[in-house]
């Protein structure tokens, strides 16, 4: 029954019409959201990407109203009619709530089967079903709003950076696989049997080459890929706002990006950000918040009580200190009366984050209750409570282990309890820079130090001397921009001196041959005059997620993957036929039963 739209031309999107258009003849097109049959009158809510508009059919035209009776949800139609003031009460919930279209001509462009779920924002639909039929899910107003927002954000960034002298340059997506990062997605080559391309985890090496080529300021909204375990804020393919600048230092990079964020939030959300953003060293962030991406919208900071308990009789504390660890605490306001079951649940969560257990003190009105009171003198207990600045009615939680585990445990508990207790103001946008990252981190898996960022990150000048003696002391000229507990982006000043780069490769265990095998094209380019340069890359998905007020990046990506990196809609990854495998010289190894 679908009809041709020959001779029809859409004059307006739905919400482009208002009371200013009353009396005009217009043609609108879209999907039927709802139909209400009142006998002599039929009302239809028409939906397009802009929103909803009410159409009215009356029985003065018998053929027209009979045709309108055929309409069902998600039919695609074109309607021509006259804009009138709405006959009934104004609908305050619709942008076009003051008007309706008195339809004179109706064309059914496409019919629809009954959708597997309602096309409504508040429809209680399982995620699997939504993602299986993502093309329907994307018709929902809030997802359409999010993708419009994403488009507005990228358009603004491109314009702002262009005005700042940045050139948008594309880099390859079939690249060489390099180590020192997450696992690559590999692409087999048919022309070069047994050889593989890698999909880029970032345009890092190419953008440094562009600095060698003299382009001075580069930007790209780049697709990137990492074959890693997924979390709520990760996708196997993601988008970066990637930039690199020549003849700059750390402050120059930070300055242009602070001005970008200030202008972006004002233009898109009408939010006034105060710049410069605070800066915090990595060490301070870990000590105060147990995280290198701290959420500073609430307090409940970590307190190091190692010195207070070093001579106490509680073996859990003293043993951790003897093994080079620390004892730290967070004070949870007003939670002294938390029941045993809920405390046990917190203990289990702490264990899930690596802790052997969780000690606590409840400062009840009737007195102190503690899981380790019998091991402490009254004086030691008083000193411990004083050190945590706790008051009657508060709950104090303690973790004792290596710094890494203690930070992880208390940092995670802090975020969980801050959310549960309503301590976080979700209307705030708290930006900060985390700086002075460690240059290296220890890998238990590889039993050696690896680069925390990448091998081309410049060490702080005063720490270069430690490259050959104490890698744990080396700090990097690296910086992350953090928003409300999310790492929005990160970058660094790059090494451009050959002698420092040589020391860096040696520290990472690369001999000259290995380094040249992996990064030869970049090292060769550096022989011919390389400018000092630095860069930064934002996770566009995370940025849009925060600006849209969403909790999951899937809600700001058109066609996302699920946790196992598969696409329910297109059913990928999937098997390919044997002919394709033979052309690539690939044999699938089957698991032995």
Please, what is the angle between helix 540-548 and helix 250-269, to 10°? 40
Tell me what pLDDT residue 481 has: 98
pTM given for the model: 0.92
Instruction: Note the pLDDT tens digit of each residue in 251-294.
Output: 999 999 999 999 999 999 999 999 999 999 999 999 999 999 99
Q: Using DSSP, state whether 557 is helix, strand or coil.
A: coil
Compute, in degrees rounded to 10, the torsion defined by CA atoms 563, 566, 568, 572.
180
Which of 296, 279, 276 is closest to 288 using CA atoms?
296
- Predicted confidence band of residue 180 (pLDDT cuts 50, 70, 90): low
309 vs 321: CA distance, rounded Å = 9
Which distant-in-sequence residues (6+ apart) come within 8 Å of 53 by Cβ?
A: 14, 15, 17, 28, 30, 45, 46, 94, 96, 99, 100, 101
SS3 for 413? Answer: helix
What residues form DSSP beta bridges with 539? 240
Residues in the chain: 593
| DSSP string over 337-384 | T--HHHHHHHHHHHHHTT-S--EEEEEETTEEEETTGGGS-HHHHHHH
Tokens of 35: 């139909």
What pLDDT does residue 476 have? 96
> Does residue 518 have a pLDDT over 70?
yes
pLDDT at site 181: 64
Q: Is the model's pLDDT at 29 over the cut of 60?
A: yes
pLDDT value of residue 455: 87
| pLDDT at position 592 | 59
Express each pLDDT in 301-316 by its tens digit.
999 999 999 989 899 9
E strands, 180-318, are: 186-188, 196-198, 217-225, 237-246, 279-281, 303-304
> Distance between CA 287 and CA 304 in Å, rounded?
8
Percentage of the chain lying above the pLDDT 90 cut: 81
- Would the pLDDT of 480 be above 60? yes
């Amino acid at each position: 029954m679908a009809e041709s739209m020959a001779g029809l031309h859409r004059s307006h999107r739905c919400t482009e019409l208002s009371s200013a258009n009353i009396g005009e003849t217009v043609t609108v097109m879209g999907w039927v959201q709802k139909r209400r049959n009142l006998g002599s009158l039929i009302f239809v809510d028409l939906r397009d990407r802009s929103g909803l508009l009410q159409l009215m059919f009356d029985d003065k035209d018998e053929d027209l109203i009979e045709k309108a009776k055929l309409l069902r949800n998600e039919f695609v139609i074109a309607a021509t009619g006259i804009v009138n003031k709405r006959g009934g009460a104004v609908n305050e919930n619709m942008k076009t709530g003051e008007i309706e279209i008195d339809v004179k001509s109706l064309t059914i462009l496409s019919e629809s089967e009954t959708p597997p779920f309602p096309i409504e924002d508040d429809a209680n639909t399982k995620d699997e079903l939504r993602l299986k039929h993502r093309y329907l899910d994307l018709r929902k107003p809030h997802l359409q709003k999010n993708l419009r927002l994403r488009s507005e954000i990228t358009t603004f960034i491109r314009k702002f950076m262009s005005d700042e002298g940045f050139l948008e340059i594309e880099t390859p997506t079939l690249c060489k696989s390099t180590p020192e990062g997450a696992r690559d997605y590999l692409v087999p080559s048919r022309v070069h049997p047994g050889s593989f391309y890698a999909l880029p985890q970032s345009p890092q090496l190419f953008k440094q080459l562009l600095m060698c080529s003299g382009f001075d300021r580069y930007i790209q909204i780049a697709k990137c890929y990492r074959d890693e375990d997924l979390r709520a804020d990760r996708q196997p393919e993601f988008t970066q706002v990637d930039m690199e600048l020549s003849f700059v230092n750390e402050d120059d990079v930070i300055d242009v990006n602070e001005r970008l964020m200030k202008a972006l939030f004002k233009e898109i959300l009408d939010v006034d950000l105060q710049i410069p953003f605070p800066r915090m060293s990595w060490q301070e962030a870990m000590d105060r918040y147990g995280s290198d991406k701290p959420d500073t919208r609430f307090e409940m900071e970590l307190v190091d009580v190692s010195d207070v308990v070093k001579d106490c009789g509680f073996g859990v504390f003293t043993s951790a200190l003897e093994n080079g660890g620390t004892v730290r605490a967070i004070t949870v306001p007003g939670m002294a009366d938390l029941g045993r079951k809920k405390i046990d649940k917190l203990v289990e969560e702490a264990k899930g984050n690596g802790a052997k257990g969780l000690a606590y003190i409840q400062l009840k009105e009737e007195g102190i209750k503690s899981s380790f009171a019998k091991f402490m003198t009254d004086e030691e207990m008083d000193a411990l409570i004083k050190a945590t600045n706790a008051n009657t009615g508060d709950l104090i939680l303690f973790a004792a282990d290596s710094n890494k585990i203690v930070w992880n445990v208390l940092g995670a508990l802090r975020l969980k309890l801050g959310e549960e207790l309503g301590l976080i103001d979700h209307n705030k946008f708290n930006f900060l820079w985390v700086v002075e990252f460690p240059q290296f981190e220890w890998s238990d898996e590889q039993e050696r130090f690896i680069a925390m960022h990448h091998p081309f990150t410049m060490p702080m000048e005063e720490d270069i001397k430690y490259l050959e003696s104490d890698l744990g002391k080396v700090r990097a000229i690296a910086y992350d921009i953090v928003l409300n507990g999310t790492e929005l982006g990160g970058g660094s000043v790059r090494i451009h001196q050959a002698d420092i780069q040589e020391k860096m490769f040696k520290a990472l265990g690369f001999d000259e041959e290995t380094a040249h095998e992996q990064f030869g094209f970049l090292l060769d380019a550096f022989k011919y005059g390389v400018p000092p340069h630095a860069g930064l890359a934002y996770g566009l998905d995370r940025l849009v997620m925060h600006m849209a007020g969403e909790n999951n990046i899937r809600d700001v990506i058109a066609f996302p993957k699920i946790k196992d990196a598969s696409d329910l809609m297109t059913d990928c990854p999937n098997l390919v036929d044997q002919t394709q495998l033979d052309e690539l010289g690939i044999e699938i190894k089957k698991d032995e039963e």
